[in-house]
Structure 1
Amino acid sequence: MHSTPASTPLVSRAVAAAVAVLLAACCLCAGLFTAPSARADEWRDKEYWLADSGITKAWEVSKGAGVKVAVIDSGIDAQHPDLKGSVVGGYDASGSGQPDGQKSVGSKPEHGTLVATMLAGRGHQPASASPSPSPGPAVPPDGIMGVAPEAQLLSVSTWLGSANPSGKSDQDQIPEAVRWAVDNGAKVINISLGSTTPQWPQSWDAAFLYAEQKDVVIVAAAGNRVGGNTQVGAPATIPGVLTVAGLDRKNVASVDASSQGISIGVAAPAENLLGGLPGGGYAEWAGTSGSTPIVAGVAALIRSKWPDMSAEQVINRIVSTAQDAGAPGKDPLYGYGILNAEAALKADVPEATVNPLGTIAEWIRVHRRGNAAPAAPLPTATPVPSAAPTLPEATVPAAKAPSQRDSAIGAAVVIGFAVLFVVIIAAAAIQLRRAGRNGSLAVEEPDTGVMESVQAPRNQQVTEASDG
């Protein structure tokens, strides 16, 4: 289970301030090399991860039809040729005045479109292609083909990485974005954003709990070393979130494009990635920001194939079919291993009853003691068709009050310790009196247990003997 220390008011303020400064798409983007003049088909041919990660084989089973995936990022340009018809709704959590979430905002405005095309790009027919069916082989699509090309996207825009003109901080934007995505039918949420601190504001607790109780899969980026993330940062440290680490072209943990941590669930390609830019261009980029939509896309393929499968089982299917890498078993560089999309869609995987990556509900119960901050109500937005709720309104579990039997046992334990303490003090007093007569103290060597005599200084105080 992911874990971070329980918060205090002082720590909470420090964490909130740190996350507000550090949470940004730019810290997850290791490199961006734009080339808008290149032909779209040249980019399409370079998507090596589609074959290497088993995605083309997984398409024999599913392409993500009927599944909504929310992209919480800097906004998606739905007019990009490769995203035509894929964006079915959106919301502006940044407060910057663009209600459909499809205007690029923040310090990395291109980031959301890069992520979206990798996740659900549909390519496009070249201008020279015949508009009507003709004999012979079909003309392959140009542009970017995403992992789940038949999935539907919800664009939830956030303003991160620079001063937000609306004044809304990440403490408000992130939980608002998560709740809106859940309420509007998202079955998978992609968060290619992160910070350099493993802790998260308490204001996020209720929103991530809400998503967990509504059976939504959340996939988040581990972060990049080159961006200062030597360790995984929030929200990828939140229990139950599927955290994605990055690989180089040799399927080895990327030196620049991946951090490490016990919360990592799976690893996916993070170097020499390709994505679409606002306005119709393309770019080569790197980082776990791009690894994340690859895994989120596979989650969409699974949810399309098995609509009734729980989020816990979806995550378990992905991590249990991953190819082990690094140290045997789960490790802080690769998690459970390297993504294998074909196995995730075709392998016989035992049904899971719990999320192998933990649960935010249990973490809150232990660390927050039922005091998570309630989520503020969302402003009215343009309604988007959503799935009917299947679970009651999310609630924060409180620590269970002790029973009378527990109280009785606790009292007995306290009395027992008190008696033991008195006996120890009495025995110590006897030893001190003997030492005073004999002029020496008995000292036990911690490694050997051998008792040896040490001459006591004449002026030694009883308090020193008691403390020793």
Structure 2
Amino acid sequence: MLRRRALGRGALLVALLVAIPLGTPVPVAYADQVRDRQYWIADYGIDRAWGITRGAGVRIAIIDTGIDGSHQDLLGAVVAGTDVSGLGSADGQTPLGSDRRHGTMVASLAAGRGNNGTDGVIGSAPEAQLLSVSMSFSGGDVSPDDQIATAVRWAVDNGADVISLSLTRNTRDWPESWDRAFSYAAANDVVVVAAAGNRGSGTVAVGAPATMPGVLTVGGVTREGLASDTASSQGITIGVMAPGEGLVGAVPGGNYVSWSGTSGATPVVAGIVALVRAAYPNLDAANVINRVLVTARPASDTTPDPLYGYGLVDAYAAVTADVPLVSANPLGSIDDWIVLHRRQEGNPIVVPLGPPGTSADEQAQPVMAEPVAAGTELDIVPYAITGLFGLGFLVALTSGLVLVLQRPRNR
């Protein structure tokens, strides 16, 4: 497990998601056919990056519906886990809810091992370790807001180097309860990667956590490298673009699915971040993020661009290019944002706790708030999702169309 502690603090975000309708079953696909469909492994320089590193020693936390670690493509990948919903198993490996497949799909694209090495789903960082943090997007006694805050802190305390969040709000704001959790992650040098959301699911503009300072936001493109009309939202906080259409992923029970959405683009990038962390173990989170941004392939005349961000992520360039060091996260600081935007007269703003084991005397002192004009506070918009599942969920997922690919039990 790599452990680094931040030199600077980047902002981290969490948010609500737009649920996606499930598709209909399609004909049987063998694991070797699944590998053949992973076009992004070559197109985004991931296979070339493997000549440098495959992500060994890096931990990626997947905060989602839970990972089925018994899937043949994920055997040995999940090294620890927990459940923050009160509905799952203690190890976080019991998929939850009607969207229970989502967490396993996401995990396979980040760090799938590939069945027998040459077939099945292989992730961007096939030797990285996974932390499975299961949460429920509906039901249970713990609100999704509280689940997410708890999940982020648990991931940090259990050695996460990267946190992958394939979920988003349809609003730019986020609950104050997330401020401390994500600032805690930033203070402990953890890179947070979040999905931009999908226009096809009603997310017209990027929502939190992708709007939060310091978070590496991922949009989705077609195989041709064009911004997806359905599988990506747009906004000034886009960091990089990654494949968002024609994806394949593992699902519980040993099967596979074909799907689209920034839910898939996000773990592809999270895995690439893991490759950078493995290749440069002494780089802090700010410089890891900067390296991913500046080595991306520009997709427009403007960089960053509100549709493409810094461009299409390039795994090989990210682990090999000569990139000057930076002193701060180029995507901003959550702590600076808190000081500017969470100020209410009479309420102190407490800077988040430092790394695990830091004594109270070593903690940063509270910053006293200053009054602001009435009406400047961010309003939290009620949660709602669209799609097959209807309204009422507090959190939804950033997947697109999902088609089931049944895997034969015997070959």
TM-score range normalised by the length of the shorter chain: 0.7 to 0.9
Deviation readout 1:391-435 (Å, 9 max, x if unpaired): 677967754699xxxxxxxxxxxxxxxxxxxxxxxxxxxxxxxxx
Task: Note the 1:6-155 alignment, pairs <5 A.
Answer: 23-24=16-17, 26-27=18-19, 29=20, 32=23, 34-35=25-26, 37-125=28-116, 141-155=118-132
Amino acid across the alignment from 1:349: V
* C-alpha distance in structure 2 between counterparts of 1:252 and 1:392, whole Å: 49
What is the one-letter code of the residue matched to 1:144? V
The answer as to whether partners of 1:196 and 1:231 remain within 8 angstroms in 2 is yes
TM-score (normalizing by structure 1)? 0.71
User: Structure with the greater relative contact order (CA < 8 A, sep ≥ 6): 1 or 2?
Assistant: 2
- For the pair 1:228 / 2:207, whether they are aligned, the reply is no
1:201 and 2:192 correspond: no
Q: CA deviation at 1:178?
A: 0.2
Q: 2:303 maps to what in 1? A: 329
- Aligned mates of 2:359, 2:231 — CA distance in 1: 40
Q: Indicate the residue corresponding to 2:146 in structure 1.
A: 172
The one-letter code sitting in structure 2 at the alignment partner of 1:100 is D
Match of 1:448 in 2: none
The separation in 2 between residues aligned to 1:299 and 1:366, in whole angstroms, is 29
Contact kept, 8 Å, 1:30 with 1:285, in 2: the verdict is: no
CA distance in 2: counterparts of 1:392 and 1:271, whole angstroms = 47
Letter in 2 for 1:68: R
Shift in Å, 1:37: 3.0
Residues 24-50 of structure 1, C-alpha deviation per residue, up to 9 Å, x if partnerless?
4x53x5875655831110001110000
Query: In the alignment, is the contact (CA less than 8 A) between 2:111 and 2:129 conserved in 1?
Result: yes
Q: 1:238 aligns with which of 190, 193, 212?
A: 212
Which ranges in structure 2 are unaligned for 5 or more consecutive residues? Answer: 1-9, 371-411
- Determine helix, strand or coil for the equivalent of 2:103: helix
Matched letter for residue 332 of structure 1: P
The structure-2 alpha-carbon separation of the partners of 1:245 and 1:395, relative to structure 1 and needing over 3 Å to count, comes to: farther
Unaligned 5+ residue runs, structure 1? 4-15, 126-139, 378-387, 403-468
Residues 88 and 96, structure 2, Cα contact 8 Å, conserved in 1 = no
Q: Quick one: which amino acid aligns to residue 313 of structure 2? A: L
For 2:405, the equivalent position in structure 1 comes to: none
Q: CA deviation at 1:171?
A: 1.4
User: Which residue type is aligned with residue 43 of structure 1?
Assistant: V
Structure 1 residues 316 and 31, CA gap change in structure 2 (3 angstroms): farther
Task: Please name the residue that 2:409 is paired with.
Answer: none
Contact 2:351 2:367 in 1 (8 A): no
Q: Deviations over 1:106-145 (max 9, x none)?
A: 33100000001111011122xxxxxxxxxxxxxx522011
The whole-number CA distance in structure 1 between the counterparts of 2:300 and 2:319 is 24
Q: Which residue of 2 aligns with 1:313?
A: 287
8 Å CA contact 1:222, 1:259 repeated in 2:
yes
- Residue 136 of structure 2 corresponds to 159
Matched residues in 2 for 1:241 and 1:392: separation?
Answer: 27
2:219 touches 2:265 (CA, 8 Å); kept in 1? yes
1:301 aligns with 2:275: yes
- 2:265 is the counterpart of 1:291: yes
Is the 2:35–2:121 contact (alpha carbons within 8 Å) kept by the matching residues of 1? yes
- CA deviations over 1:302-336 (Å, ceiling 9, x no partner): 11111121000000000011111134111111111
Given candidates 225, 231, 250, the residue that maps to 1:257 is 231
3-state SS of the aligned residue for 1:282? Answer: strand
Cα RMSD after superposing both structures: 2.6
- 2:113 alignment partner AA: R
SS state at 1:177 partner: helix
The SS at the match of 1:182 is: helix
Cα distance change on mapping 1:195 and 1:395 into 2, 3 Å? farther
Q: 2:312 aligns with which of 321, 338, 355?
A: 338
Contact kept, 8 Å, 1:366 with 1:399, in 2: the verdict is no
Conserved 8 A contact 2:272-2:315: yes
Q: Displacement of 1:167 after TM fit?
A: 1.5
Kindly state the Cα deviation for residue 99 of structure 1 after the two structures are TM-superposed. Answer: 1.1
SS in 2 for 1:295: helix
Give the Å deviation of 1:366.
1.0
CA contact (8 A) 1:206 1:396 kept: no
CA contact 1:223–1:245 (8 Å) conserved in 2: yes
Which amino acid is 2:213 matched to? P
Q: Which residue among 193, 205, 213 is the counterpart of 2:187? A: 213
Cα distance in 1 for residues equivalent to 2:258 and 2:97? 20
> What is the CA–CA distance in structure 2 between the aligned matches of 1:269 and 1:97, rounded to whole Å?
31
- Is the 1:322–1:338 contact (alpha carbons within 8 Å) kept by the matching residues of 2? yes
Counterpart secondary structure, 2:220: strand
Cα separation, 2, equivalents of 1:31 and 1:334: 27
Match of 2:162 among 184, 188, 209: 188
Contact kept, 8 Å, 1:194 with 1:236, in 2: the verdict is yes
Distance 1:218 1:158 in 2: 17
1:78 corresponds to which letter in structure 2? G
Match of 2:243 in 1: 269
Secondary structure at 2:121 match in 1 = strand
The whole-number CA distance in structure 2 between the counterparts of 1:36 and 1:217 is 39
2:6 maps to which residue? none
Task: Give the TM-score of the pair, scaled to structure 2.
Answer: 0.81
Structure with the higher fraction of residues in helix conformation: 1
Structure 1 range deviating more: 366-375 or 115-124: 366-375
Whether contact under 8 Å (2:244, 2:260) holds in the other structure is yes
Q: For the residues of structure 1 that align with 2:323 and 2:240, how far apart are their CA atoms?
A: 16
